[in-house]
Structure 1
Amino acid sequence: MTSQIAPHSWLPEPKLLFHPERTGDTELHPLRGLLRYGPYSSNLVPGPIRVATIAPAGDGQKLYAFMRELNDPHSVTERADYLQPWPGFSQVFQVKMTGAEKSCHLELPAELERMFEISSTPHIVLADALIRAVQQLEARRDAFDVIFIYVPSRWAAGYVGAQEEDFDLHDHLKAFAAARRVPIQLVREDRALSYPHRASVMWRIGLALYAKAGGVPWKLAETDRETAHIGISYAVRPTSSERARFVTCCSQVFDADGAGLEFVAYDANEVEVQRDNPFLSRAEMFRVMSRSVDLYRRRHAGQSPRRVIVHKSTEFKGEEIAGCMEALHLCEAVDLVQVVADAAWRGIRIDRPKQGAKGQPAGYPVARGSLVGLSERECLLWMHGDVRGISDRGSYFQGGRSTPRPIRLVRHAGHGSWHETAVSALALSKMNWNNDNLYDPLPVTMSYAQVLARVIKRMSNLGTSPYQFRFFM
Structure 2
Amino acid sequence: MRVFTSHDAVRLDNQPTCRTNSLPLGNVENLRIDRVDWKVHQAVLVQIRPLGSELALVLKPTLYVTDRSGAIAPKDTERLVKQRVLGYQHNKEFNDATEAWRRRLIPQRDFHVRYPDHEDGIALTFSGRPLFARITDERERTVSLNSVQELAARQAGLQLAEPRLNFARKSTVGLAFDTHPVRGLINNRPFDSSLTTTGIASSIRVGIIAPAQDAIRVHQYLSQLHAAAQPGKDADYLPPFPGFASAYHCPLEIPSVGEPSFVQLEEPDSTAPSSARALAGAIARSLAALSASQRPDVTVIYVPDRWAPLRSYMIDDEEFDLHDFVKAAAIPKGCATQFVEEDTIRNAQQQCRVRWWLSLALYVKSMRTPWTLGGLSEKSAYVGLGFSVKRKTNQNAGAHVVLGCSHLYSPNGIGLQFRLSKIEDPIMRNKNPFMSFDDARRLGEGIRELFFDAHLRLPERVVIHKQTPFLRDERSGLQAGLEGVACVELLQIFVDDTLRYVASHPTSDGKFEIDNYPIRRGTTVVIDDQTALLWVHGASTALNPRRHYFQGKRRIPAPLVIRRHAGTTDLMTIADEILGLSKMNFNSFDLYGQLPATIETSRRVAKIGTLLDRFSDHSYDYRLFM
Report the TM range for the smaller structure's normalisation: over 0.9
User: Using a 3 Å threshold, how does the CA distance of structure 1 residues 221 and 252 change in structure 2: closer, same or farther?
Assistant: closer
Contact between 2:392 and 2:398, CA under 8 Å: does it hold in 1? no
Contact between 2:392 and 2:399, CA under 8 Å: does it hold in 1? no
1:453 corresponds in structure 2 to 606
Match of 1:225 among 368, 372, 378: 378
TM-superposition CA deviations, 1:210-245 (whole Å, max 9, x none)? 111110111112222222110011111133132342
Return the alpha-carbon distance in structure 2 between the equivalents of residues 123 and 342 of structure 1: 38
1:58 counterpart SS class: helix
Structure 1 range deviating more: 1-10 or 321-330: 1-10
1:247 corresponds in structure 2 to 402
Return the alpha-carbon distance in structure 2 between the equivalents of residues 376 and 258 of structure 1: 28
TM-superposition CA deviations, 1:131-178 (whole Å, max 9, x none)? 23223323215x321111111111111121136543222112111111
| Larger RCO of the pair (alpha carbons < 8 Å, separation 6+) | 1
Instruction: Say whether residues 1:322 and 2:473 are aligned partners.
Output: no
Alignment of 1:178-193 (within 5 A): 178-193=331-346
Return the alpha-carbon distance in structure 2 between the equivalents of residues 120 and 326 of structure 1: 47
TM-score where L is the length of structure 2: 0.71
What letter matches 2:624 in structure 1?
A: F
Return the alpha-carbon distance in structure 1 between the equivalents of residues 601 and 331 of structure 2: 15
Displacement of 1:434: 0.7
Match of 2:543 among 375, 385, 390: 390
Alignment of 1:65-84 (within 5 A): 65-84=220-239
What letter matches 1:342 in structure 2?
A: D
Alignment of 1:190-229 (within 5 A): 190-229=343-382
1:395 counterpart SS class: strand
Match of 1:433 among 583, 586, 589: 586
2:386 counterpart SS class: strand
What letter matches 2:610 in structure 1?
A: K
Return the alpha-carbon distance in structure 2 between the equivalents of residues 298 and 203 of structure 1: 36
Match of 1:333 among 487, 498, 506: 487
User: Using a 3 Å threshold, how does the CA distance of structure 1 residues 179 and 78 change in structure 2: closer, same or farther?
Assistant: farther
1:305 counterpart SS class: coil
Return the alpha-carbon distance in structure 2 between the equivalents of residues 406 and 169 of structure 1: 34
1:87 corresponds in structure 2 to 242
2:525 corresponds in structure 1 to 372
Displacement of 1:88: 1.0
What letter matches 1:313 in structure 2?
A: Q
Return the alpha-carbon distance in structure 1 between the equivalents of residues 442 and 220 of structure 2: 48
Contact between 2:406 and 2:598, CA under 8 Å: does it hold in 1? no
In terms of fraction of residues, the more strand-rich structure is 2
Instruction: Say whether residues 1:8 and 2:143 are aligned partners.
Output: no
Instruction: Say whether residues 1:43 and 2:200 are aligned partners.
Output: no
What letter matches 2:303 in structure 1?
A: V
User: Using a 3 Å threshold, how does the CA distance of structure 1 residues 411 and 88 change in structure 2: closer, same or farther?
Assistant: same
Return the alpha-carbon distance in structure 1 between the equivalents of residues 488 and 616 of structure 2: 28
Instruction: Say whether residues 1:237 and 2:385 are aligned partners.
Output: no
Contact between 1:249 and 1:453, CA under 8 Å: does it hold in 2? yes
Displacement of 1:100: 5.1
Instruction: Say whether residues 1:280 and 2:447 are aligned partners.
Output: no
Return the alpha-carbon distance in structure 2 between the equivalents of residues 371 and 226 of structure 1: 24
Return the alpha-carbon distance in structure 1 between the equivalents of residues 213 and 597 of structure 2: 39
Return the alpha-carbon distance in structure 2 between the equivalents of residues 370 and 171 of structure 1: 37
Contact between 2:406 and 2:416, CA under 8 Å: does it hold in 1? no
Return the alpha-carbon distance in structure 2 between the equivalents of residues 461 and 424 of structure 1: 34
Count of residue pairs the alignment pairs up = 466
TM-superposition CA deviations, 1:411-439 (whole Å, max 9, x none)? 00012431111011111000000111000
Return the alpha-carbon distance in structure 1 between the equivalents of residues 364 and 538 of structure 2: 27
Structure 1 range deviating more: 453-462 or 121-130: 121-130
2:265 corresponds in structure 1 to 108
Contact between 1:263 and 1:292, CA under 8 Å: does it hold in 2? no
Return the alpha-carbon distance in structure 2 between the equivalents of residues 173 and 373 of structure 1: 44
TM-superposition CA deviations, 1:383-426 (whole Å, max 9, x none)? 11000131587000000111100011110001243111101111
User: Using a 3 Å threshold, how does the CA distance of structure 1 residues 392 and 79 change in structure 2: closer, same or farther?
Assistant: farther
2:502 corresponds in structure 1 to 348
Instruction: Select the structure of larger CA radius of gyration.
Output: 2
Displacement of 1:324: 1.6
What letter matches 2:353 in structure 1?
A: S
Displacement of 1:99: 2.7
User: Using a 3 Å threshold, how does the CA distance of structure 1 residues 242 and 467 change in structure 2: closer, same or farther?
Assistant: same
Return the alpha-carbon distance in structure 2 between the equivalents of residues 467 and 182 of structure 1: 11
User: Using a 3 Å threshold, how does the CA distance of structure 1 residues 22 and 410 change in structure 2: closer, same or farther?
Assistant: farther
Instruction: Say whether residues 1:60 and 2:215 are aligned partners.
Output: yes
User: Using a 3 Å threshold, how does the CA distance of structure 1 residues 308 and 160 change in structure 2: closer, same or farther?
Assistant: same
Return the alpha-carbon distance in structure 2 between the equivalents of residues 38 and 77 of structure 1: 24
Return the alpha-carbon distance in structure 1 between the equivalents of residues 483 and 276 of structure 2: 48
TM-superposition CA deviations, 1:256-314 (whole Å, max 9, x none)? 322221121121212111211111122211211222233333332x1222221110111
Displacement of 1:24: 4.9
2:104 corresponds in structure 1 to none
Structure 1 range deviating more: 246-255 or 222-231: 246-255
Contact between 2:211 and 2:302, CA under 8 Å: does it hold in 1? yes
2:83 corresponds in structure 1 to none
TM-superposition CA deviations, 1:63-93 (whole Å, max 9, x none)? 2212211111111113111112111111111
Contact between 1:249 and 1:265, CA under 8 Å: does it hold in 2? yes
Unaligned runs of 5+ in 1: none
TM-superposition CA deviations, 1:36-57 (whole Å, max 9, x none)? 1111111225022111111101
1:360 counterpart SS class: strand
Instruction: Say whether residues 1:29 and 2:29 are aligned partners.
Output: no
Structure 1 range deviating more: 444-453 or 193-202: 193-202
Structure 1 range deviating more: 169-178 or 239-248: 239-248
What letter matches 2:600 in structure 1?
A: S
Return the alpha-carbon distance in structure 2 between the equivalents of residues 181 and 193 of structure 1: 30
User: Using a 3 Å threshold, how does the CA distance of structure 1 residues 364 and 295 change in structure 2: closer, same or farther?
Assistant: same
Structure 1 range deviating more: 286-295 or 222-231: 286-295
1:249 counterpart SS class: strand
User: Using a 3 Å threshold, how does the CA distance of structure 1 residues 392 and 419 change in structure 2: closer, same or farther?
Assistant: closer
Structure 1 range deviating more: 156-165 or 441-450: 156-165
Instruction: Say whether residues 1:156 and 2:313 are aligned partners.
Output: no
2:540 counterpart SS class: strand
Instruction: Say whether residues 1:309 and 2:463 are aligned partners.
Output: yes
1:91 counterpart SS class: helix
2:505 counterpart SS class: coil
Displacement of 1:58: 2.5
TM-superposition CA deviations, 1:345-366 (whole Å, max 9, x none)? 110001231x224121000000
Structure 1 range deviating more: 423-432 or 306-315: 306-315
Structure 1 range deviating more: 327-336 or 64-73: 327-336
User: Using a 3 Å threshold, how does the CA distance of structure 1 residues 256 and 243 change in structure 2: closer, same or farther?
Assistant: farther
What letter matches 2:179 in structure 1?
A: L
What letter matches 1:148 in structure 2?
A: V
Q: Which runs of structure 1 show a deviation greater than 4 angstroms over 4 or more consecutive aligned residues?
A: 1-5, 20-24
1:103 counterpart SS class: coil
1:86 counterpart SS class: coil
What letter matches 1:11 in structure 2?
A: L
1:144 corresponds in structure 2 to 296
Return the alpha-carbon distance in structure 2 between the equivalents of residues 242 and 250 of structure 1: 25
Contact between 1:29 and 1:438, CA under 8 Å: does it hold in 2? yes
